[in-house]
Amino acid sequence: MTSRYRLGIDVGGTHTDLVLLDPADGSITVEKVSTTPANPAIGMLNGIAKYAARGIDLSAVEFFSHGTTITTNALLELRGAKVGLLINRGFRAVQEMQTQSRDGNPFDYFYQKPVPIAPQSLTREIPGRVDYAGAELEPLDEQSVRNAAAELKQAGVVSIAVCYLYSYMNPAHEERTRALIRADFPQAHISLSCEVLPRVREWPRMSATLLNAYLAPVLVNYIADLGSGLDRAGLHTQQRFLMQSNGGVMPFAAAVTGHTAVHTLLSGPAAGAQASAHLLREQALRGLVTLDMGGTSCDIAFIEGGAPLEVTEGVVARRQLDIPSLDLTSISAGGGSIVWIDRAGFLSVGPQSAGAVPGPVCYGQGGKDPTVTDADIVCGFLNPDYFLGGSQRLDTGSAREAITARIAGPLKMTLTEAAAGIRRIVDMRMADEVRVFAARRGVDLNDFTLLPFGGAGAVHAAAVAEELGMRRIIVPLHPGAFSALGLLCTDVVHDHMRSELRPLDQLDPAHAEDVFRAIEARARTELSAEGLSPAQARFERELDLRYTGQGYELRVPLAGLWTDALDARSLAAVRARFDEVHARIHGHAASEKGVELVSYRVRVRVSVPKFEPRPAAARASAPAPAAANKGTRRVFFAAEEAIETQIIDRQKLPVGATFDGPAIVEQFDATTVVPPGWAAQVDRFGNLALEFRD
């Protein structure tokens, strides 16, 4: 066998994207199939079958990586498992009280919190306590645990969350509880807070544990079904990985342990951000804004200093989730977003989506509600005969009829006014979200480049950039499959932590070293269980620090501050670095104030072979060749008048080729719109660089 392949598959709301890499020559083969929402694995296997039909030997695939929305969709649609909760006696109200904060409009008198994952009827109080230092104050009441397990089993509970006070300091009670439950209720999925999120603050820890318990059965069953399907398809590699929210991947073996389900909630969007940083290194150092617009949503991230911004606290579907993840924001602005008229008579777009089934009206699959994609085709931006390379023909007539009947007619607008208005609304929403996101992160958009991908990103990117005052756009070589390609551009990454509150100046360096080594020992054990070599792992240490009295902390990396072990000099340097980090993020530091240690963190990274773009030989700039010209088409860049626009075949554009807008660039997996006033050039990596000239 002369070649071993690497396969990345990203499941979106409308389409499933597949990228097959041949490391021998660096070539990639892209496939795109409809997503099957009832069982996403079916769509994936349909795409894999297309490779087999091309004559590709699937047994030669040595690496498989997958970005999934299975847990995200389960949470959004409340299709998780039936969960029971075990907590300390006297603390059953924690889930109801949470932090007493509220999201959304503070003046909404009808505000309601999300439905509890584990209702009070399935919550059991267990006698037993440890204190803030981890010392046992009251022994665990083992009979109460057995009684609770029996009652929850009788109630039909599938998954049990265990969250005791200060378990991050002493996990013995939680671990014993798991053993007792397994003895009497072996089929239950069990999530311990000391494993899911061993950190200070009761509600965030409980929230993450409940979410994990809610989603773990869904993910574990999905992985089992998918693994069986891959085996039947002839893809037998044991190197099977899932994308995580932190931008790294984890083996299937880690997912089936049951305590990592929450780390997949931003799986799909994270892959695109990771690809942006890896494949466009030069631009990533200067700053990128990613615009991942697919069928159901648009995901936005900032790449600064060569890496995606990260957070350790966040909210997913109104649920608190404080795990390390890339700093992403999502809005319901996709090609399948449904257009409607609200009660006040205003034109609205989303949040509902036509999804993969039935999809936009122009797909001809039974959809009746007009969508953004229908507006795009009415305006002339999409070629009905070349969607997905011509494998799917779009019905322009049905799209025009739907917009006329449901939007233009009731609003007394012309068809093109309605279609252009739909595009204007969705473009403005994306621009507004980028603007707000940038303001919150202190990003100057004038210095950044817009990077659109996803099936619809490059169709709308120029309009978004103009609204934001951004003058540079980079459209990658395969924008429609960019997130799938990102699955082949990252390492195995696991994050571990443990909280321990104490003044930094009272921290014994030997004690801190012992804690770090204990975390690293546990990480090595987990790597071995996952079939990975601990000897190949890199361990990156961090401390969560804050000024005394602060209610939040900052991550401070220890890289370069120690050699064989932490010592007093290391901790003094950590203190100085914390002041620098605080000043950079918040604009000031308080070097005269005391500093508290909150948590230890260890990021474990195991390198895997990654896709590396291969630049072509530099060529002088030259007009696009005649062979790339596919003719012209009338396009409504504005509602008033259509402009005769050149249509260009991207596959026939050589490095250095240049052309001016207006132009539409077509390829198998996406369409790029170059409006009047913009110029485009193909760079050495095959990317399409757009620049605003007016």
Q: Is the pLDDT of residue 334 over 90?
A: no
Distances (CA, A) of 111 to 72, 99, 100, 108, 220: 23, 15, 13, 5, 34
| Structural domain includes residue 240 | yes
Instruction: Look up residue 89 and give its DSSP letter.
Output: T
Assess whether 12 and 66 both reside in one domain: yes
Least confident of 385-389, 585-589, 685-689: 385-389
Distances (CA, A) of 61 to 142, 155, 225, 230, 236: 49, 44, 19, 11, 8
Beta-bridge partner residues of 451: 290
Assess whether 83 and 201 both reside in one domain: yes
Assess whether 87 and 169 both reside in one domain: yes
Q: What whole-number distance in Å separates Cα of residue 648 and Cα of residue 654?
A: 12
| Structural domain includes residue 658 | yes
Q: What whole-number distance in Å separates Cα of residue 382 and Cα of residue 379?
A: 8
What's the pLDDT band for 38 if we cut at 50, 70, 90?
A: confident
pLDDT of the residue at 289: 93
Assign 3-class secondary structure to 424-480: HHHHHHHHHHHHHHHHHHCCCHHHCEEEEECCCHHHHHHHHHHHHCCCEEEECCCHH
Assess whether 504 and 647 both reside in one domain: no
* 337, 427 Cβ separation under 8 angstroms: no
| Structural domain includes residue 364 | yes
| Structural element, H or E, at residue 673 | strand 671-674
Span 83-95, average pLDDT: 92
484-498 in b/e burial notation, b at 16+ Cβ within 10 A? bbbbbbbbbbbbbbb
CA torsion 294→295→300→303, rounded to 10°? -20
Q: Is the pLDDT of residue 260 over 90?
A: no
- In the chain, what is the straight-line distance between the N-terminal and C-terminal CA atoms, in Å? 54
Assess whether 237 and 249 both reside in one domain: yes
Span 251-257, average pLDDT: 84
Which of 75, 492, 61 minimizes the C-alpha distance to 254?
Answer: 492
pLDDT of the residue at 1: 44
Question: Which residues span the domain enclosing 51?
Answer: 5-75+220-264
Which of 310, 204, 218 minimizes the C-alpha distance to 258?
Answer: 218
Assess whether 524 and 428 both reside in one domain: no
Q: What whole-number distance in Å separates Cα of residue 508 and Cα of residue 97?
A: 37
Of 559, 575, 606, the residue at which a domain comes to its end is: 606
3-state secondary structure of 232: helix
What's the pLDDT band for 470 if we cut at 50, 70, 90?
A: very high
Assess whether 419 and 531 both reside in one domain: no
Strands (E), 235-274: 240-243, 249-251
* 596, 547 Cβ separation under 8 angstroms: yes
Beta-bridge partner residues of 34: 15
pLDDT of the residue at 312: 83
Token pair belonging to 10: 């990203």
Span 640-662, average pLDDT: 91
Span 292-302, average pLDDT: 86
Least confident of 74-78, 149-153, 398-402: 74-78
Q: What whole-number distance in Å separates Cα of residue 162 and Cα of residue 145?
A: 10
Which of 233, 215, 251 minimizes the C-alpha distance to 76?
Answer: 215
Assess whether 99 and 166 both reside in one domain: yes
Kindly report the number of other CB atoms within 10 A of residue 285's CB atom: 14
Q: What whole-number distance in Å separates Cα of residue 584 and Cα of residue 415?
A: 51
pLDDT of the residue at 682: 93
Of 485, 515, 532, the residue at which a domain comes to its end is: 485
* 256, 220 Cβ separation under 8 angstroms: yes
Q: What is the CATH number of the domain that holds 135?
A: 3.40.1360
Q: CB-side exposure of 351: number of CA atoms within 13 Å?
A: 4
Assess whether 211 and 87 both reside in one domain: yes
User: Phi/psi at 631 (nearest 5 deg)?
Assistant: 110, -155
Kindly report the number of other CB atoms within 10 A of residue 617's CB atom: 7
Least confident of 119-128, 189-198, 343-352, 449-458: 343-352
DSSP 313-357: --EETTEE--S-EE-EEEES-STTEEEEE-TTS-EEEEEEE-TTT
pLDDT of the residue at 653: 93
| Structural domain includes residue 66 | yes
What's the pLDDT band for 3 if we cut at 50, 70, 90?
A: low
Q: What whole-number distance in Å separates Cα of residue 605 and Cα of residue 520?
A: 12
pLDDT digits (tens, 9 = 90+) for 570-627: 999 999 999 999 998 888 999 899 999 999 999 999 988 888 888 887 787 888 888 9
| Structural domain includes residue 521 | yes
**Maximum separation of any 2 CA atoms in the chain, in Å:** 82
Any long-range contacts for 400-407 (C-beta under 8 Å, 24+ apart)? 401/361, 402/361, 402/368, 402/369, 402/370, 402/374, 403/339, 403/370, 403/374, 403/375, 403/378, 406/339, 406/340, 406/341, 406/369, 406/370, 407/339, 407/341, 407/347, 407/370
CA torsion 37→40→212→313, rounded to 10°? -80
Q: What whole-number distance in Å separates Cα of residue 48 and Cα of residue 64?
A: 11
Name 286's Cβ contacts closer than 8 Å, sequence gap at least 6: 447, 448, 449
User: What whole-number percentage of the chain has pLDDT above 70?
Assistant: 99
Q: What whole-number distance in Å separates Cα of residue 36 and Cα of residue 44?
A: 8
Assign 3-class secondary structure to 619-634: CCCEECCHHHEEEEEE
pLDDT of the residue at 459: 94
In the chain, the number of structural domains is 6
Least confident of 101-105, 278-282, 644-648: 101-105
Of 435, 459, 485, the residue at which a domain comes to its end is: 485
Assess whether 533 and 592 both reside in one domain: yes
User: What whole-number percentage of the chain has pLDDT above 90?
Assistant: 55
pLDDT of the residue at 94: 86
14-43 in b/e burial notation, b at 16+ Cβ within 10 A? bbbbbbbbbbeeeebbbbbbbbbbeebbbb
CA torsion 513→518→522→528, rounded to 10°? 60
Q: What is the CATH number of the domain that holds 70?
A: 3.30.420.40
Assess whether 295 and 367 both reside in one domain: no
| Structural domain includes residue 404 | yes
| Structural element, H or E, at residue 308 | strand 307-308
pLDDT digits (tens, 9 = 90+) for 206-220: 999 999 999 999 999
| Structural domain includes residue 612 | no
Instruction: Look up residue 123 and give its DSSP letter.
Output: E
| Structural domain includes residue 480 | yes
Assess whether 508 and 595 both reside in one domain: yes
What's the whole-number average pLDDT of the chain? 90
